[in-house]
Copies of this chain bind each other. A is one copy, B any other.
C-alpha cells in the first residue's frame, strides 16, 4: 500500500473510533507500518474524528521523526516498540475509552483476566472461550521511554499478547492489518464493558 493509502486507513480509523467515543478530546494515537523500518503515525494533539492527510508523519522505529516540521505524538515509542517486536504487525491503535480508563483504575494488580467469553475468539490466535486472555496493566507515566522499558519485558515474555492497558489512560492493540487492529479494539471494548457491568451487579 502507498503512503497515501496508509494515511487514509488512519484517517478512516480515527473517524470510526472517535464516533464510538473511544478517542475523545484529541486523545489517542494510531499508526501503520510504512516499511520494514518505518512507521506512519498521527501527529500530536489533533481531533481524531477530523484527521487529514497532513496529520500523519513518518518515523523510524526508534521513534524519531523523519519529517522535521511535524511533532509526533508523545507516545510514538509505544508504537515503534511494537513494530520492532514483531515483523507481522502492520497497524497499532491506542484508544482512550471510558471503560478502559475505569476498568484499569478499578483493577488492582498488574493484569486483568478475561475468561469464558465467546468474544475472546476475536483476538488473534484464540479459538475457544475456555482459555484465559491476560491483559497486562501498566501504571501511567508521562515519561514514555520509561513506560516503554516496562512494557518491553512483558512483550518478550508473552509472545501471544494481544493488547495492554495503561492505567487511567487507555488501550494498545495491534494486528497485521488495520482491520485486524480495529476488530481487536471492538472486542476489547466489548469485554471491558462486560467486565464493568458484571462488577456493578455482582459486587452489589
Q: Taking beta carbons and an 8 Å cutoff, which residues of A are in contact with B?
A: 24-27, 47, 96, 98-99, 101-102, 105-106, 116-119, 122, 127-130, 140, 142, 166-170, 179, 183-184, 186-187, 189-190, 193-194, 196-204
B residues near A169, Cβ cutoff 8 Å: 117-118, 129
Tell me how far the C-beta of A6 lies from the nearest C-beta in chain B, rounded to whole angstroms: 20
Contact status of A24 and B201, CB under 8 A, knowing A116-B105, A142-B130, A168-B129: no
Q: With contacts A25-B186, A101-B119, A129-B142 known, what are 16 further pairs, Cβ within 8 A?
A: A24-B119, A24-B189, A27-B118, A27-B119, A47-B183, A98-B190, A98-B193, A98-B194, A102-B197, A106-B201, A116-B167, A116-B168, A129-B169, A196-B197, A199-B201, A200-B201
List, in ascending order, chain B residues with CB within 8 A of A203's CB: 201, 204
Q: Is the CB of A200 within 8 A of B198?
A: no
Chain B min CB distance to A49 (Å):
10
Q: Which residues of B contact A142 (CB under 8 A)?
A: 127-130
Give Cα A147 to B173, complex, Å. 32
Complex Cα gap A57–B190 (Å): 28
Q: A25 to B118: give the CA distance in the assembly, Å.
A: 11
Residues from chain B with a CB closer than 8 A to the CB of A122 are 24-27
A118: contacting residue among B168, B184, B186, B202, CB under 8 A: B168
- Say how far A40's CB is from chain B's closest CB, in angstroms: 23
